[in-house]
Amino acid sequence: MTTRILATLVFLAVLAAAPAFVPPFEVRVLSLFCFWGALSLAWNILGGFAGYWSFGHTVFVGIGAFVPGVIVAKLFDGGGAELMPLLVLVGGLVSAAFAGIIAWPLLRLRGIYFAIAMLGVAQVTGELSAAIEWIGGGVGLSLPDAVPAALAPEAFFHYIFVGLLALTIGAAAWVRGARFGQGLLAIREDEDTARMLAVPTEGYKIAALVLSAFLTGLLGATYGFSLGYITTDSVFRTDFSLNMIVHALLGGIGTIAGPLLGAAVMVVLTQVVLGEMLNLHLFATGALVVAMVLLAPQGFLGLWRRKPRAQREPGP
């Protein structure tokens, strides 16, 4: 166990040190890896551990990005750069609060119904962010330049993304090792039996969604700052939702290394291989999903066969 912890720390340290000896383009690629790895890990807490596949996790990215944007626009008239850490935190917290609100009705649903309900949440929230003029997602929101003078922008955001990745890995690892994590696994394997074994299924599911949303929100907020200017279409993106699922599936759902591995593969594929063809990202993601489903070995998809579980029928 401690070798794993050591290896992870070394890995993170090397990542963090990258801007010192790697040119800006590669630093951005590494940042992207950290961003996607952390996102997928956060998704995995609910999807892989608890077995509730959200097809709409981009909603938490969007909320995380929009909250600082709206605050900056309404309260600071475009300024507020020095408050970035606080704003990012608030973005994460509002995401978490939102998750808490939708959790009770939505987590009552299972399997495809939950997946599609989350898709709907993302769709509607995205639409509202543009349609409600006070939010202004259609026109877009500016986020102040919070990069300190001494640092290059890509290095600044890189450090933050590495930090968030470390946080997410820590959170996922803690969940995995705690009673909470075991309970989530039981829920994934057989929710009704878990309930009968006194696992607090409702509370645990909500906690997993809220935690996942918090981490995703932090990442979304940081992403927003790194873009500098956000619109509905740039942060409420269907392919974001799909990417998170794809990374976890590719590398191995329910593990910690899995989503990271998947993210690494995908980032290399899209940035390095497809790099120039930016407008084919949706296509590439979609094609990869299809290829994975059709070509991957049975065992890898074996986890899917148990979903969705038929509900235990109460009856005479």
Residue 301 within binding range of another protein, rule CB under 8 A: yes
For residue 15, what are the CA distances in angstroms to 32, 36, 125, 180, 268?
Answer: 12, 14, 34, 30, 15
Q: How many CB atoms lie within 10 A of CB 270?
A: 21
Is 41 or 249 the residue whose CB approaches another protein more closely? 249
Residue 1 within binding range of another protein, rule CB under 8 A: no
Residue 131 within binding range of another protein, rule CB under 8 A: yes
Is 5 or 132 the residue whose CB approaches another protein more closely? 132
If 0-12 CB within 10 Å is exposed, 13-18 middle and 19+ buried, where does residue 111 land?
Answer: middle
Per-residue contact flags (x/-) with another protein for residues 242 to 281, judged by CB under 8 A: x--x---x----x------------------------xxx
Residue 105 within binding range of another protein, rule CB under 8 A: yes
Is 182 or 271 the residue whose CB approaches another protein more closely? 182
If 0-12 CB within 10 Å is exposed, 13-18 middle and 19+ buried, where does residue 130 land?
Answer: middle
Among 9, 14, 197, 272, binds another protein (CB under 8 A): 197
Residue 139 within binding range of another protein, rule CB under 8 A: no
Closest CA to 176 of 111, 114, 104, 258: 258
CA 248 to centroid of chain Cα atoms: 11
Among 193, 228, 273, 275, binds another protein (CB under 8 A): 193
Give 248's strand partners.
none
Does residue 200 have a cis peptide bond before it, meaning omega lies within 30 degrees of 0? no
Residue 306 within binding range of another protein, rule CB under 8 A: yes
Residues making up the chain, counted from first to last: 316
If 0-12 CB within 10 Å is exposed, 13-18 middle and 19+ buried, where does residue 259 land?
Answer: buried
Among 17, 139, 273, 290, binds another protein (CB under 8 A): 290
Round to whole Å and give the CA distance between 263 and 29: 11
Q: Which stretch binds another protein (CB under 8 A): 33-41, 68-76, 213-221, 300-308?
A: 300-308
Among 75, 112, 151, 273, binds another protein (CB under 8 A): 112
How many residues form the binding site for another protein (CB under 8 A)?
68
* b/e code 141-162 from CB counts within 10 Å (16+ = b): bebbebbeeeeebbbbbbbbbb
Q: How far is the CB of 263 from another protein (least distance, A)?
A: 17
Is 27 or 172 the residue whose CB approaches another protein more closely? 172
Q: How far is the CB of 28 from another protein (least distance, A)?
A: 23
Q: How many CB atoms lie within 10 A of CB 24?
A: 13
Residue 146 within binding range of another protein, rule CB under 8 A: no
If 0-12 CB within 10 Å is exposed, 13-18 middle and 19+ buried, where does residue 28 land?
Answer: middle
Catalog residues that contact another protein under the rule CB under 8 A: 55, 105-106, 108-109, 111-113, 115-117, 119-121, 123-124, 127-128, 131-132, 179, 182-183, 185-186, 188-190, 192-201, 238-239, 242, 245, 249, 254, 279-283, 285-290, 293-294, 298, 301, 303-308, 314-316
